[in-house]
Amino acid sequence: MIRMSIRFAGVAVLAAISSPLFTAVAQQQVPAAPPQQPAAVEPSAPAPSAAPVFPKPDPANFTATSPTKDTVNAFLESSWGYDENRIWQVQDILKTPVEGISKVVIYVGDKTGKQKPGVIGFFALPDGKHIIADNQLLPFGDHPFAEYRAILQQRADGPYRGSASKDLELVEFADFQCPHCKDAQANMDKLAVDFPKARIVFENYPLAKIHPAAVKAAEYGVCVAKQGGSNAFFLFAAAVFDGQDGLATPDGETLTLNSAVVKAGLDPAKIEACSATHEAGESVEASVKLAEDLNINETPILVVNGRLIPVGGAPYDVLKKIIEFQEKLDGITQ
């Protein structure tokens, strides 16, 4: 398999298929299960020496009619095309004992020879829109991010900064008590400057099982946005992340949230009362449901026009390059 350092299995899949050049850091509701051993050993890719030379594909290993080699290449170009040094070769598209499910094997390497080449395998499902890789369900096809993009354009209604247009929509799913979400805010602020025509949306995804204060913080955020608008919300959010350690105790939680409300220019008593309403809870639940419908199970995640990117440990230059590439894929000019 491709050599990389990934903290959680879910992030490993995203990194392997979507953006393998950085070590992602994220938090999940529960610790990831140990990776399963493959049922069979994949063929070894060549050792690195400058640009790798992959073995010639054997036509006998293309026994499945779907997906086609062109579809797989289009999917990989959408996923990896931002990296000018990445090269790959579709090696096998094999029938499996299950009707309609195909096994796809890909050799992947680096033109410079700096990264060790390897092998990635996944199972393509009969609907032509999804694959299973490392026990994770991922979007697939010629335009793999289009379905998620449409879902977010319809349902991502959290506070936003930047453009009202949804042509370039960056949706951040974050938890106010997640340390990696706090760390990611510096990159989010840079993105707001470098992509002034982007619509940057914040969606609550509190991981309540590991962050007891996260739901209340999210409900406060909903009410701040409702009473003060998006500008007030982002002032509140910055203050909560800055004072995140205070959320660790009940007294500190109240002090931290009320202080953040004041910094946003609002009345803590009114926000607290609002946060206890059924409507505030429903809003947070809807945001969590949106994340689940996108197969997101960790934070922080940034979704760029439907493309999921784990941003906790992403170098900013790589993150920016991926967004610029996605703009080109979607025909967007800044």
CB atoms within 10 A of CB 17: 24
**Please, which pLDDT band fits residue 333 given cuts at 50, 70 and 90?**
confident
Q: Minimum mean pLDDT among 13-27, 51-65, 138-152, 247-261: which range?
A: 13-27
Question: Would you say residue 313 has pLDDT above 60?
Answer: yes
Question: Would you say residue 21 has pLDDT above 70?
Answer: no
Say which residue, 140 or 311, is predicted with more confidence: 140
* Burial of 66 per CB tally in 10 Å (0-12, 13-18, 19+): middle
Residue 74 in contact with residue 67, Cβ under 8 Å? no
Residue 57: which of 20, 102, 104, 100 has the closest Cα?
A: 104
Question: Would you say residue 104 has pLDDT above 50?
Answer: yes
Question: Would you say residue 23 has pLDDT above 80?
Answer: no
Q: How far apart are CA 151 and CA 290, in angstroms?
A: 9
pLDDT of residue 29: 56
Question: Would you say residue 110 has pLDDT above 80?
Answer: yes
- Average pLDDT, rounded, for the chain: 88
Question: Would you say residue 101 has pLDDT above 60?
Answer: yes
**Please, which pLDDT band fits residue 136 given cuts at 50, 70 and 90?**
confident
Structural domain boundaries in the chain: 37-133, 148-321
Q: How far apart are CA 27 and CA 209, in angstroms?
A: 11
pLDDT of residue 334: 63
Distance, C-alpha 222 to centroid of its chain: 22
Q: How far apart are CA 13 and CA 26, in angstroms?
A: 13
pLDDT of residue 283: 98
Output the pTM of the full model.
Answer: 0.86
Q: How far apart are CA 77 and CA 57, in angstroms?
A: 19
Residue 102 in contact with residue 124, Cβ under 8 Å? yes
pLDDT in tens, 215-256: 999 999 999 999 999 999 999 999 999 999 999 999 999 999
Q: DSSP 3-state helix, strand, coil percentages of the chain (rounded to 5)?
A: 40, 20, 40
pLDDT of residue 34: 40
Residue 253: which of 162, 177, 320 has the closest Cα?
A: 177
Distance, C-alpha 72 to centroid of its chain: 21
pLDDT of residue 28: 62
pLDDT of residue 26: 62
Report domain 148-321's class. alpha beta
Residue 94 in contact with residue 102, Cβ under 8 Å? yes
Say which residue, 26 or 137, is predicted with more confidence: 137
Share of the chain above pLDDT 90, in %: 79
Share of the chain above pLDDT 70, in %: 85
Q: Which two tokens stand for residue 233?
A: 């919300």
**Please, which pLDDT band fits residue 176 given cuts at 50, 70 and 90?**
very high
pLDDT of residue 10: 35
Angle between helices 214-242 and 250-263 (to 10 degrees): 60
Q: How far apart are CA 273 and CA 125, in angstroms?
A: 48
Q: Minimum mean pLDDT among 158-167, 304-313, 322-331: which range?
A: 304-313
* Cα diameter, the chain: 71
